[in-house]
Amino acid sequence: MSAPLRLMAVHAHPDDESSKGAATMARYASEGVEVLVATCTGGERGSILNPKMDRPEILADISEVRRQEMDRAREILGVRQRFLGFVDSGLPEDENEPLPEGCFALQPLEAAAAPLVAAVREFRPHVILTYDDDGGYPHPDHIMTNKVSVEAFEAAGDPDRYPGLGDPWQPLKLYYHMGFTRERFEALHAAMTERGIGSPYADWIARWEDRPQKWEVTTRVPCGDHFETRDLALLAHATQVDPDGFWFVCPRELQREVWPTEDYHLARSLVDTELPESDLFTGIHAGEVSRAV
């Protein structure tokens, strides 16, 4: 019997895994792929974004609460998850505001990447998902997540780098999340407007006028059948996600009809593939899998 395929998704905070690529992970997990979420920080500096959960006792223990939420979301998605042990950097209101001492975004790159390199060597993923070099949005932890993901992809297979962190393992493909594209939101906005459903996306689309898309979408993974699982995982992060908020404005059935994929940019590949793709594991055959071992 061949060994199972393995997928690792690297995220900055608990809840990011449920808002970016969750249906993709749920689909692959349901098909027998082993999936691991590596969460860089504990979300210790996160605010309570769901007004229904805005209570002093929750805020006082936000780190533990968010770990419990992560555990529920992980179970819903059918994946494994581990925290890499760094402290949330927070999102400064002013770009000139200094980040807290010791936070994830201020770590030297090798120190920040070391736990991820160790996780890659232990879990041995064939594919890694992460954010682009702008972090998807400019949160310092998201930007650092990109940096450590690229570093781990390039270093984990080199026996001379990061000695003592396990046997070398070379992942084969690295993808950036591309879920928040103008094209997708224009399609959803048009469909909602056509059906007389109030769309919240007009302001988002307007903000794209002066922001050309940096990375092209190379890979669209059909996963509409798992949008309900994605939404349940999002709702598990009750301090961060308002059930009456933005995430759930567009009806799920309309999303399945108009945009039934989650989308990615292939940033690195050590196997031959033909673009565009519809599968993160395109090009990874038995020969490549054994070569990565």
**CATH number for the domain harbouring residue 15:** 3.40.50.10320
Residue positions forming the annotated binding site for Zn(2+): 13, 16, 142
Long-range CB contact pairs, 152-158, < 8 A, 24+: 152/10, 152/113, 152/116, 152/117, 152/119, 152/120, 152/128, 153/120, 153/128, 153/268, 154/268, 155/113, 155/117, 156/117, 156/120, 156/121, 157/292
In this prediction, residue 55 carries a pLDDT of 84
pLDDT band at 76 (very low <50, low <70, confident <90, very high): very high
More confident residue, 292 or 64: 64
Over residues 199-206, the mean pLDDT reads: 86
In this prediction, residue 117 carries a pLDDT of 98
pLDDT at 239 over 70: yes
In a domain, 74, yes or no: yes
pLDDT at 1 over 50: no
In this prediction, residue 99 carries a pLDDT of 94
Over residues 90-96, the mean pLDDT reads: 82
Please state the length of the chain: 293
210 with 220, same domain: the answer is: no
209 with 235, same domain: the answer is: no
100 with 188, same domain: the answer is: no
In a domain, 86, yes or no: yes
190 with 276, same domain: the answer is: no
pLDDT at 238 over 60: yes
pLDDT at 166 over 50: yes
Give the domain-ending residue among 214, 239, 259: 214
In a domain, 150, yes or no: yes
pLDDT at 59 over 90: no
51 with 185, same domain: the answer is: no
99 with 119, same domain: the answer is: yes
pLDDT band at 289 (very low <50, low <70, confident <90, very high): low
pLDDT at 276 over 50: yes
pLDDT band at 97 (very low <50, low <70, confident <90, very high): confident
Within 13 Å of residue 40, how many CA atoms lie on the same side as its CB? 33
Return left, alpha or beta for 152; rule: phi > 0 is left, psi -120 to 50 is alpha, else beta. alpha
In this prediction, residue 266 carries a pLDDT of 98
61 with 84, same domain: the answer is: yes
pLDDT at 212 over 80: no
User: For residues 208-230, b (16+ Cβ closer than 10 Å) or e, as one string?
Assistant: eeeeeeebebbbbbebbebbebb
Over residues 215-237, the mean pLDDT reads: 98
| 31 token code pair | 């098909």
Residue 23: count of CB within 10 angstroms of its CB: 26
42 with 135, same domain: the answer is: yes
141 with 205, same domain: the answer is: no
pLDDT at 193 over 70: yes
In a domain, 72, yes or no: yes
Q: How many independent structural domains does the chain possess?
A: 2
Strand bridging mode 173-177 / 261-269: antiparallel
Prior bond of 276 cis (ω within 30°): yes
208 with 85, same domain: the answer is: no
Maximum C-alpha span of the chain? 60
Give the domain-ending residue among 214, 235, 266: 214
pLDDT band at 58 (very low <50, low <70, confident <90, very high): confident
Beta partners for residue 265, in sequence order: 176
In this prediction, residue 49 carries a pLDDT of 85
199 with 287, same domain: the answer is: no
pLDDT band at 37 (very low <50, low <70, confident <90, very high): very high
Mean pLDDT of the chain, nearest integer: 93
- Concatenate the DSSP letters of all residues of 3-61 into one string: PPPEEEEEESSTTHHHHSSHHHHHHHHHTT-EEEEEEEE--TT-----GGG--HHHHHT
In this prediction, residue 292 carries a pLDDT of 55
Q: Please, what is the Cα angle at 151 between 149 and 157, to 5 degrees?
A: 105
In a domain, 158, yes or no: yes
Residues spanned by the domain of 207: 181-214
Q: Is the torsion defined by CA of 250, 254, 259, 262 positive or negative?
A: positive
* Most confident of the following: 89-93, 112-116, 137-141: 112-116
In a domain, 1, yes or no: no
pLDDT at 50 over 90: no
In this prediction, residue 290 carries a pLDDT of 46
In this prediction, residue 288 carries a pLDDT of 52
Residue positions forming the annotated binding site: 13, 16, 142
In a domain, 42, yes or no: yes
In a domain, 107, yes or no: yes
Over residues 53-65, the mean pLDDT reads: 84
266 with 205, same domain: the answer is: no
